[in-house]
């Protein structure tokens, strides 16, 4: 993961698959030197207004053993229509794909890893 990824030319695509092979949600995150920044051990995207498909935050951080941690937050009027309450609780697959390198960061979540802490909110985290 280069510290310049995303700042000039790299597009990212976030996809959520909820129990089918067709994406339940797709979000495009464009390159933007003002919103992408290199941070310790990774990259950060910040856009309070969520201009790009409602995406307000992306954090990509290198971890141990070559692993990468990805956090994405989205919401607001620019988020494509999705009734979160209609998404199956599990299993879920999420992917973040780098358009330049084709690198795909993916995670699969079992039903026990997916939670709805309040209406309209979906959270997934693999528990150790």
Longest dimension (CA), the chain: 38
Q: Give the pLDDT confidence of 21-35 residue by residue, as tens digits.
A: 677 888 999 999 899
What pLDDT sits at residue 36? 92
pLDDT band at 89 (very low <50, low <70, confident <90, very high): low
Mean pLDDT, to the nearest integer, of 109-128?
Answer: 76
Whether the CB-CB separation of 43 and 5 falls below 8 Å is answered with yes
- Checking if the pLDDT of 43 tops 50, the result is yes
| pLDDT at residue 106 is higher than 90 | no
> What gap in Å lies between CA 46 and CA 41, rounded to an integer?
16
Is residue 75 within 8 Å of 87, Cβ to Cβ? no
**Residues 122/76/32/94 CA torsion (nearest 10 deg):** 20
Question: Phi and psi at residue 84, in whole multiples of 5°?
Answer: -55, -35
């Amino acid at each position: 993961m280069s510290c310049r990824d995303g700042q000039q030319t790299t597009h990212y695509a976030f996809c959520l698959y909820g129990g089918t092979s067709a994406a339940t949600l797709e979000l495009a995150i464009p390159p933007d030197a003002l919103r992408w920044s290199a941070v310790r051990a990774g990259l950060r995207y910040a856009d309070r207004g969520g201009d790009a498909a409602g995406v307000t935050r992306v954090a990509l951080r290198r971890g141990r053993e070559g692993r990468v941690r990805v956090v994405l937050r989205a919401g607001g009027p620019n988020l494509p229509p999705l009734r979160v309450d209609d998404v199956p609780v599990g299993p879920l697959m999420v992917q973040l794909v780098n358009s330049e390198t084709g690198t795909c960061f993916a995670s699969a979540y079992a039903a026990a890893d997916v939670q709805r802490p309040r209406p309209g909110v979906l959270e997934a985290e693999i528990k150790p």
